[in-house]
Amino acid sequence: MSSTSRRQFLKKTALTAGAVGAAPALRSGFASGSPNDRVNVAVVGFHDRGRAHYQAYAGMKNVRVAALCDVDERLFPAAVRYVEEKSGARPETVFDFRRLLDNKDIHAVSIATPDHWHALLTIWACQAGKDVYVEKPVSYTIEEGRKMVEAARKYDRVVQAGLDMRSEPATRAAVKYLYEGRLGDIYRAKVIIFKGRAGIGRVKDSEVPAGVHWDLFLGPAPYRPFNLNRFHYGWHFFWDTSTTDVGNSGVHNLDVARWGLDKRVHPIKIHCTGGVYAWDSDQETPNVQVATFEYQDGTLLEVELSNLFTHETGGIRSTGNFFYSNKGYMSSANGYEVFWGEFIPGSPEITPEGISNHVTNASFPKRVYKPGPVIKDAETPSDAESHFQNFIDCVRSRRWQDLHCDILEGHMSTTLAHLANISYRTGRKLTFNPHSERFIGDDDANSYLTRQYRHPYVLPEKI
């Protein structure tokens, strides 16, 4: 980690709260940018994760859930009832996101749709002058992620990536600890994702249910007949709509790993293996993946993912991070806990001739660890530490630089998931140019950098 990057992180962490209050006035519908300005938010996609979005905004002071948007109209009654009871205001309901773009009363959109819709919705919203909270993984392809960054910058929008571990006090404190050099020289990070998922079985195509806008759900993806396995949550298990569980669950911890390693560039070598094991089902995406990323300076980042029966690793039963250094390692199994390492020389081996084998001491010493500091979350983090609240604060201040996870950070971390998936799909180790964001001498791998879009849901050539 460079000393400059460390200083920048520490300075930003210390000054964020003050910077928000001193920022320039909010444009696009606000008079002063003060905390008293009401922010009108539209939540897009709320069958699963999106429920947390409208529940969070409905409980915020001077924030109104002005609209709820989903392609499944059957979800509206329960969501509208919750928002109205919580906030006292009844939101508008629409099934087509495009109807929200010209609504000048909506200042921001909060996107929790399937992965394959994230980029188009974000870019369209930026072009319409709206700020965006977009769930992880921010994109379906690497090209999409880069264009999302371009749109945010060109239209001067506040775009928060939903990698919300960056707003956890313990995670922020752990990264600060690493940036201060207190763990030593970090040469490797590892991500564990052991989230059990049962097989989805095999389901026949059927008629589109009343109230479901299937064409809109598919959007830029190829047209397929309606199938329950491809709809609510099941879309995670098909290549047309998913970035695999590395992109779904793993990207949170990949983001923490990259952040802790202080990597502001992409890796140059990627290798990923795995497969679909155990279940007889319609699933296309792998339920086991093991990937390694190597950076230009030799630093390693690894991810091990299994959705099947798996033993705990280093105390981690579900998801977690490890950072390894010349002094020991940090584990997130119990908060962020440091273990100092030490080698104790082994007993010399005496040969029959009575000569001591000194090589034994260097080759087979005993390895012991001593517990160090433990960094844990407070039991009740304040609202200021909320990822959603951080987004709203920056919408008011117009300071995208104060976001806990700006869209560029989201793109950099989501790209790791894309790189792993492309290596898996091509079946080989890949070499990547981190500056051009293209694979070197590999047309097959480069074909996965974008996708064939189904008209009219097409990624703009120019932002």
- For residues 75 and 203, state if they share a domain: no
CATH number at residue 19: 3.40.50.720
First to last CA, the chain: 33
pLDDT by residue (tens digit) across 45-66? 999 999 999 999 999 999 999 9
Q: Which string of b and e fits 96-132 if b means at least 16 CB within 10 Å?
A: ebeebbebeebbbbbbbbbbbbbbbbbbbbbebbbbb
The pLDDT, as a whole number, for residue 239 is 98
Strand ranges (DSSP E) for 6-112?
39-44, 63-69, 92-94, 108-111
The enclosing domain of 277 has a CATH number of 3.30.360.10
The verdict on 202 and 316 lying in the same domain is yes
Whether 455 is covered by a domain: the verdict is no
Closest CA to 408 of 121, 167, 241, 163: 163
267 plus 318 within the same structural domain: yes
Do residues 121 and 203 share a domain? no
In terms of domains, do 98 and 246 share one? Answer: no
Q: Where are the extended beta strands (E) located within 276-393?
A: 288-294, 300-306, 319-325, 328-331, 336-344, 349-350, 356-357, 366-375
pLDDT at residue 418, as a whole number: 98
- Give a yes or no: residue 461 inside a domain: no
Residue 149 shares a structural domain with residue 203: no
Same domain, 117 and 255: no
Spell out, as residue ranges, where the chain has pLDDT lower than 70: 1-35, 346-364, 378-385
Q: Is residue 115 part of a domain?
A: yes
Q: Is there a domain that residue 145 lies in?
A: yes
pLDDT score for 365: 77
Residues 254 and 402 in one domain: no
Q: Which domain holds residue 15?
A: 3-164+382-406
Both tokens of residue 154? 């060109």
Residues 239, 264 share a domain? yes
pLDDT tens, residue by residue, 141-191: 999 999 999 999 999 999 999 999 999 999 999 999 999 999 999 999 999
| One domain, residues 156 and 209 | no
Nearest to 410 by CA among 169, 246, 164: 164
Question: What values do phi and psi take at 282, rounded to 5?
Answer: -80, -5
Question: What pTM value is reported for the model?
Answer: 0.90
Total domains, the chain = 2
Predicted local distance difference test score (pLDDT) of residue 4 = 46
